[in-house]
Amino acid sequence: MSGTQTSKDSLEALYADFASLNMEGGWHRRFPALWPQPRRNFLPHVWHYAKVKPILDRAGGLVDTTQAERRNLTMFNPVEGNIYSTVRTMVAAYQMIRPGEVARAHRHTPNALRLILEGTGTYTVVDGKHVEMRPGDVLLTPNWSWHSHSNGGSQDCYWMDFLDVPLVHLLEPMFFEGHPDGVETAVEVLDEAPIAFRWTETVARLDAAAADAKQDEAVCVRLGPAQLDTIALAMHRIPAGSATRPLRTTANRIFAVVKGEGVSIIDGEEHPWTFGDTIAVPAWRAFQHRAASEAVLFEVSDEPVLAKLGWLRSQPD
């Protein structure tokens, strides 16, 4: 045999042979499988409610509830190639329902919740429990719960939805079913329910937290005891001129502005916000919120998932 390798004995031939079997050699990966810390994939971004609301109003005149299960606008992260997710594991959307409309009942494996922004007279029915939705309220729809919405008032009503649909897409257990009767017929009307976190109660809890905090210190309360398996909820109050502590965490977070105005500093870049805006803070991005006027931010995160799997890490920036 000559001093040169035969074509069969070359590395190129070896690579071609196992590539034909849909295999790859661990010593010459085209793309690394492990890296020292989380990559920066999804981007920090802010959606401004003042720009979204007129579009929802236009949709209200063009799209009715017979054309769509829900009249909503999904916020997809501007990272290249993404067409749906707001952050890696969660999606957020703005939704509007007009007087007299009913959004039919359905159920699905993703967990969901909503933060009410504007309007009165709207109701949700979750597994037969009929509960009013008021501005500032947060309401839960645990996975596989029947749920519908209706507007019995005289105002257009607006809210924000948050779901773990991208996580379900990743893991594959997606099931969806429309209610055979359109809506649930056996309904119990409740003023209070475990799935409803009332704004008045949240304010009282924030007041109590502020009383125990230093002057002009930002405070945070977790919403509970009712919880979703994959999404953690919290409310933050930031006094005018104050800021939250800088943080970096492996959890993905979405913030919604319930009150006030200010700016989020994410990886050193400023992102202004005001009432109704949505702020995407992807995993392992250093962030801090500063309030120009007293602000309340609602936070959803995938902390429960990371914690259950032993992957939750946080550090001051």
| pLDDT for position 144 | 97
Letter for the amino acid at 205? R
| pLDDT for position 124 | 96
Letter for the amino acid at 286? A
Yes or no: say if 139 and 196 are a contact pair by the CB < 8 Å rule.
yes
Q: Give DSSP secondary structure letters for 77-115.
A: --STT-SS-SSSS-EEEEEEE-TT-EEEEEEESS-EEEE
Give, rounded to a whole angstrom, the gap between the first and last alpha carbons of the chain: 62
Report the topology of domain 199-315.
Jelly Rolls (2.60.120)
What is the mean pLDDT of the segment spanning 142-163? 96
Question: Can you tell me the distance from the alpha carbon of 73 to that of 94, in angstroms, rounded to the nearest whole number?
Answer: 5
What is the mean pLDDT of the segment spanning 174-180? 97
Q: Is 60 exceeded by the pLDDT of residue 159?
A: yes
Q: Is 70 exceeded by the pLDDT of residue 5?
A: no
Structure tokens at 229: 């398996």
Query: For 229-270, what is each residue's pLDDT tens digit?
Result: 999 999 999 999 999 999 999 999 999 999 999 999 999 999
| pLDDT for position 1 | 44
What is the mean pLDDT of the segment spanning 12-29? 89
Question: Can you tell me the distance from the alpha carbon of 254 to that of 274, in angstroms, rounded to the nearest whole number?
Answer: 15
The architecture CATH gives domain 45-197:
Sandwich (2.60)
Q: Is 50 exceeded by the pLDDT of residue 171?
A: yes
Q: Are strands 157-163 and 112-118 parallel, antiparallel or unpaired?
A: antiparallel
In this prediction, residue 66 has a pLDDT band, given cuts at 50, 70 and 90, of confident
- Is 0.85 topped by the overall pTM? yes
Per the prediction, the chain carries an average pLDDT of 94
Map out the domains of the chain as residue ranges: 45-197, 199-315
3-state class (DSSP) for residue 5? coil
Yes or no: say if 308 and 250 are a contact pair by the CB < 8 Å rule.
no
In this prediction, residue 6 has a pLDDT band, given cuts at 50, 70 and 90, of low
Does 6 or 116 have the greater pLDDT score? 116
| pLDDT for position 317 | 59
